[in-house]
């Protein structure tokens, strides 16, 4: 699999959140959307930086979760966006050694209210924690 994926998207793919391009975003709606990233290795995570595309519209509640395997999750942050804009916001998390990180939007997201993340970065040890290398995009992967 790729080093980033999501429960769903609206055509704006999960990888847009980690492409270091603020003009692209992962977009989703529906019930409790999430985006999941695999780090380059088990890393100490201290902070998550997120730019929400509609960050000035509302204060969205979300959790940051850690996992050794991408399937069983421990919540290391539970809070809200500032509601003050679409710039990057930093959120301190419980320092945790983890391989996978998931952002889970827990507040209600109505079907006509798309949430989006244009930038998603992880800070810890090392300072900037990189994502795992994506597996080589092969000919079997279509539509991309």
Chain residues binding Ca ion by CB under 5 A are 16, 19, 21, 24, 118
The beta strand positions in 53-87, using DSSP E, are 61-67, 74-80
Cα of first residue to Cα of last residue in the chain, in angstroms, is 13
Close Cβ partners of 124 (under 8 Å, ≥ 6 residues apart): 43, 44, 45, 46, 47, 95
Shortest separation between residue 22's beta carbon and Ca ion, angstroms: 6
Closer of 21 and 95 to Ca ion (Cβ): 21
Close Cβ partners of 138 (under 8 Å, ≥ 6 residues apart): none
Closer of 116 and 124 to Ca ion (Cβ): 116
- C-beta neighbour count of 114 within 10 angstroms: 18
Shortest separation between residue 71's beta carbon and Ca ion, angstroms: 26
Closer of 52 and 73 to Ca ion (Cβ): 52
Chain residue at closest Cβ approach to Ca ion: 24
Closer of 88 and 132 to Ca ion (Cβ): 88
């Amino acid at each position: 699999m790729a080093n980033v994926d999501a429960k769903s998207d609206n055509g704006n793919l999960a990888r847009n959140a980690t492409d270091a391009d603020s003009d692209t975003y992962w977009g989703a709606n529906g019930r409790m959307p999430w985006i999941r990233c695999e780090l380059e290795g088990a890393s100490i995570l201290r902070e998550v930086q997120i730019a929400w595309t509609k960050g000035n519209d509302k204060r969205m509640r979300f959790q940051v979760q850690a996992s050794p395997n991408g399937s069983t999750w421990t919540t290391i942050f539970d809070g809200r966006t500032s509601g003050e804009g679409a710039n990057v916001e930093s959120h301190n998390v419980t320092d945790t050694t983890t391989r996978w990180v998931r952002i889970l939007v827990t507040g209600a997201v109505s079907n006509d209210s798309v949430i989006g993340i244009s930038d998603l970065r992880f800070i810890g040890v090392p300072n900037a924690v990189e994502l795992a290398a994506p597996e080589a995009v092969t000919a079997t992967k279509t539509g991309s």
